[in-house]
Structure 1
């Protein structure tokens, strides 16, 4: 993996010849699923690969964007026929194809215009409108992207380019978050003007762009702007308070790290940006994602409205609902100052322990073992017994390594319980 970009990675004095030399070195180190010399003579490397190579943040297997004068889909099929991979036709009218080969995704597009420069002028932002000529090993930058890159400035090439694909409105905030860029004022105005046109974009693309944004290191600085953009299209969108505090520093402070940090922080951000059930449904989130959002939002609201500590039943249900997503709730509560950092650390530590009987609730004996030991038949009574044992186990009232003691507790419950009636609520206990 390449290192993360820093503000000094691109000098303002970097000449096109120096950029070309830098790109030649970076491209030579890549090992795509086909040799570079198998491509047509006028093939250009464009977009994120060029930008990231100049920033020193190029991954080992980056997504590659290529442009050719014509025959893009045909080229994808030729490459797949010779070197393997799967071809996806992205746009037959605009002649855009994709080759997927192992960890590599290579998008190939025909020039949008009669020349290479015309094609670059139709791109979204100057940072993505730089190109590297693979055969000539030259750098092309008609839109001034190199200077914008050096100044960490995101600038739209033209307002009409946003109209051509309104998803670029969201992409602007995602790129600004990923690269640590400021957004040029004129570009910011254009983004606001075009925001309402997001309704013309496939919802799957909108959701995918939002998910990428929320994984960016500096996303919390752009979430409120993003929410405002969504409201221009979906007025019912009401972001959760505290979005601007959902940064890496908060997640590290509570004890998250690595991929777990990225995943839970991204989910907390995305849930907060979507904000309302109607928005979640409008973006056609998967049923799993909708249930995930509903549970997180439910417990966020329960916590906000609670005047006393959660009861044992509430605590247990919280952990049943958020077995995989408790860190996201902790982050949301921390961002709103509704939870002390020390308490959040404690609960994260417990959640990270798979043996913790409250954070990972379970019945200490299987249903088959209970049936055999107590001569029970499958049915509601067995289910209620297992629920009772799970509850007692969660709050440390069972000797989990003593089966005889557990069975004694089960027999006592069977003697006292009225079948098919809910288990009585327990006294209040310290809430997470």
Structure 2
């Protein structure tokens, strides 16, 4: 995901409001959007993350566009989806909120909440998310709560305490934003979050899951996770595991992107927690396997396992081996990662030298448990270097079939 870095040189937060609005519109490049501006109804404004990230110069290549329209948001999305293609997703029929998905773009439209736009903005979660940009020839920034000042001060502050209670997921959103934006949460807002933490379990598990997935991928996730613990915000789902210190110096940037979110999630949540928050079956399996092998490695070094167990480790953690090594001393980690990076390493990337169909054709075997056992045996022999060729694999298979029982 391409993202512009934030730097003092890129800041547009020090100019006057009119100048900032023009520069922000330039950064947003509406000419690239899949829907022309003139197709939105008069009075439409851009709000939320795209405005905030544009001001901070951290827009992605395809930013999510959240817009407030005067009325009939769902009808507008349905009309635009018919005109430009894409999918219409109803987000909240009662509150008139819908999403238009067009390729890699998502555009959310919501009907104005309140008598005017100021009332709508003052019902939002945090002041940095309560800034609007008019989509007019001369764009204007609307900032009734002081979000621009918060952006300048790198501060996350709630608009109103009641707003957090209106949707308790917002309690978790502050630590997530702090992790993503490298900002601090102001003390009054921290007190609000701690005071109402028992409200979070009322939120749909899938929504909590989505926030946590974003949080563990952020640059400052470790500090945010520490904050979650101190606030006891996700206590119902937390692991009682002693926190590990992760060593990333031996990992490439791509390997860190693969390993750190999984390792953080596994360390943060209990096995029951990942189930209760309804993570995907694959994500649950990855977390449970990683935790199992972490605990096993504490009891007995993975390097001293019997062959069957060592093969099982590499079969179960082939994709996630960098995460498994994160808490190791550098020398041991480097050694394992070097082998894992070699796609030809038959132990770290185990596979059988012959598949079931080939074995059936060559040896006249029938599908069944015996065939599965043979394939596993061949995989083991190849993993530990006792089979190098197809001919050797066939002979090994014959020997196994004819073994004395």
Instruction: Report the TM-score, using the length of structure 2 for normalisation.
Output: 0.91
For 2:354, the equivalent position in structure 1 comes to 365
Written as runs of structure 1 = structure 2, the 5 A alignment for 1:13-412 is 13-28=14-29, 30-135=31-136, 136-229=138-231, 231-232=232-233, 234-235=235-236, 237-242=238-243, 245-246=245-246, 250-251=247-248, 253-258=249-254, 260-274=255-269, 276-306=270-300, 309-331=304-326, 334=327, 339-374=328-363, 376-398=365-387, 400-401=388-389, 403-412=390-399
* d(CA) in 2 for partners of 1:119, 1:193: 25
1:131-182 deviations in Å (ceiling 9; x for gaps): 1111141111111111111121111111111101111111111111111001
Aligned-partner SS, 1:99 = strand
Aligned-partner SS, 1:88 = strand
**Alpha-carbon distance, 1:24 to partner:** 2.5
Aligned residue pair count:
402
- Change in 2 beyond 3 A, CA 1:359/1:18: same
Report if the CA contact (8 A) 2:229-2:235 is conserved: no
Report if the CA contact (8 A) 1:10-1:150 is conserved: no
Aligned-partner SS, 2:110 = strand
1:97-144 deviations in Å (ceiling 9; x for gaps): 211111111111122211111111111111111111111411111111
* d(CA) in 2 for partners of 1:263, 1:184: 32
1:216-263 deviations in Å (ceiling 9; x for gaps): 11111111222455x5554462254335x44xxx43x223323x4323
* d(CA) in 1 for partners of 2:65, 2:367: 57
* d(CA) in 2 for partners of 1:8, 1:356: 47
**Alpha-carbon distance, 1:325 to partner:** 1.6
* d(CA) in 1 for partners of 2:228, 2:209: 12
* Segment drifting more, 21-30 vs 232-241: 232-241
* d(CA) in 2 for partners of 1:5, 1:273: 29
**Alpha-carbon distance, 1:8 to partner:** 5.8
Long gaps (5+) in structure 2: none
**Alpha-carbon distance, 1:383 to partner:** 3.2
Report if the CA contact (8 A) 2:172-2:233 is conserved: no
* d(CA) in 1 for partners of 2:377, 2:309: 14
1:338-388 deviations in Å (ceiling 9; x for gaps): x22222222223223332111121222333444454454444444333322
Long gaps (5+) in structure 1: 419-432
Aligned-partner SS, 1:132 = strand
Instruction: Report the TM-score, using the length of structure 1 for normalisation.
Output: 0.86
Report if the CA contact (8 A) 2:262-2:287 is conserved: no
- Change in 2 beyond 3 A, CA 1:87/1:370: closer
* d(CA) in 1 for partners of 2:345, 2:26: 51
* Segment drifting more, 372-381 vs 71-80: 372-381
